[in-house]
Amino acid sequence: MPADASPVSGDTLKTPFHAQHVALGARMVPFAGYGMPVQYRDGIIAEHNWTRENVGLFDVSHMGQYYLVADDGKHETVARAAEALMTADIAALAPGQQRYSQLLNDEGGIIDDLMIARSRESAHDGWLYMVLNAARKDVDFAHIASRLPKGVRIESADGFTALLALQGPKAVEAMEALAPQFAALRFMTTASGKLAGRTVHVTRSGYTGEDGFEIAVHGDDALHIWNSLLADARAKPIGLGARDSLRLEAGLCLYGHDIDETTSPVEAGLAWSIQKRRREEGGFPGAARIQRELKEGPARKRIGLELEGRQPAREGAEIATRDGAIIGRVTSGGFSPTLQKPIAMGYVQSGHAAVGTQVDILVRGKPLPARIVSMPFVPNRYKR
């Protein structure tokens, strides 16, 4: 589809890289209120494979970047406020460490999943940096703001209006060429400093299952950083289509599909993100449900599926036993470019969730044979 034929209305928000996407022939689509590139001229499969072999550069500026700030400048103060809202052990975060967590409602359902990091700078020890999902950031902001104690506030991340993800096995080489100090970061750690002469905030993390970095950039510096990263022949711009196929192969949840406000972290297979102290002490919304499910097991579980044949199953398809009893449904699905077979994620009754279980997925009334497999579908390559 030509860029000028893309279904993006005039009132759709634009990231700082919009003109670059259009100039590169991106197919632009509306996503979470923004015009975003779903693919460029080479197509989703080529972009997916390039990221698996080289370096993909993703515009994720639609995500929400915020700070939680304690007026007294103390980590323990802001950590206590955060722990009243989410599951992770924030108090134990070391300076420069990041964690994945979930913001929960009072029933233990997931309002959003997020990344949260403690500043490495002693002057900002009472700050926590958060990255929230694009489609949920306004809901999250209102929810968090309404529940913070006096002396703790949430605010936008001071000029960081652009966010780029540099992902792939050669991402560290590309980063090394521009900013060796960031190339030395370990997985799920963070630092601020200069990249191509501009101030950025970098975390070693991502949403593809590959090694890589997320780079928060000031709006005025966005194009300079974009051009500097793409000057490396190992790097190419990648759209949201390949981002989705990569995260599916990595077994990562997509909010609004694999998790939502009815889903608990335990059902979703995210109990690993609830550290021991939080499991035992609780103190977060819905703790009674989470603790009960940790002890007794949830009624349903998120599972991975590999299908026979070539036809994929999409969200909403029912999952059945081989004798026809409906036991769950698909929440994400597609064709895996890496494995060259259809894969899917979904929820089934816990009694049917064992790896190796043979099931049928009903697609337009036709049963497609599948089996439950462990995740990730493709081994991750994070640098721990």
Looking only at the bridges linking them, the beta strands covering 127-132 and 110-118 are antiparallel
Of 302, 303, 312, 361, the residue nearest 334 (C-alpha): 312
- Whole-model pTM over 0.75: yes
Average pLDDT score over residue span 197-217: 98
CA distances from 50 to 53, 233, 234, 336 (A): 5, 12, 9, 14
Beta bridge partners of 341: 336
Q: Please, what is the average pLDDT of the chain?
A: 96
3-61+161-249 CATH = 3.30.1360.120
- Amino acid 33: pLDDT: 95
Taking the domains of the chain in order of start, what are their residue ranges? 3-61+161-249, 62-158+264-298, 299-384
| Per-residue model confidence as pLDDT tens digits over 6-51 | 455 567 999 999 999 999 999 999 999 999 999 999 999 999 999 9
Average pLDDT score over residue span 183-210: 97
Query: What is the spatial distance between Cα 89 and Cα 204, in angstroms, rounded to a whole number?
Result: 19
Looking only at the bridges linking them, the beta strands covering 110-118 and 98-104 are antiparallel
Does the domain formed by 299-384 have CATH 3.90.660.20?
no
- Amino acid 2: pLDDT: 30
| Per-residue model confidence as pLDDT tens digits over 309-344 | 999 999 999 999 999 999 999 999 999 999 999 999
197: confidence class by pLDDT, cuts 50, 70, 90: very high
| Per-residue model confidence as pLDDT tens digits over 119-167 | 999 999 999 999 999 999 999 999 999 999 999 999 998 788 899 999 9
Q: What percent of the chain has pLDDT over 70?
A: 97
- Amino acid 10: pLDDT: 61
Superfamily of the domain at 62-158+264-298: Aminomethyltransferase beta-barrel domains (3.30.70.1400)
Gap between the terminal Cα atoms of the chain? 40
| Per-residue model confidence as pLDDT tens digits over 237-255 | 999 999 999 999 999 999 9
Average pLDDT score over residue span 193-208: 97
- Amino acid 11: pLDDT: 74
Which strands sit side by side in the sheet containing 235-237, from one edge to the other? 190-195, 198-203, 212-217, 162-167, 55-59, 235-237
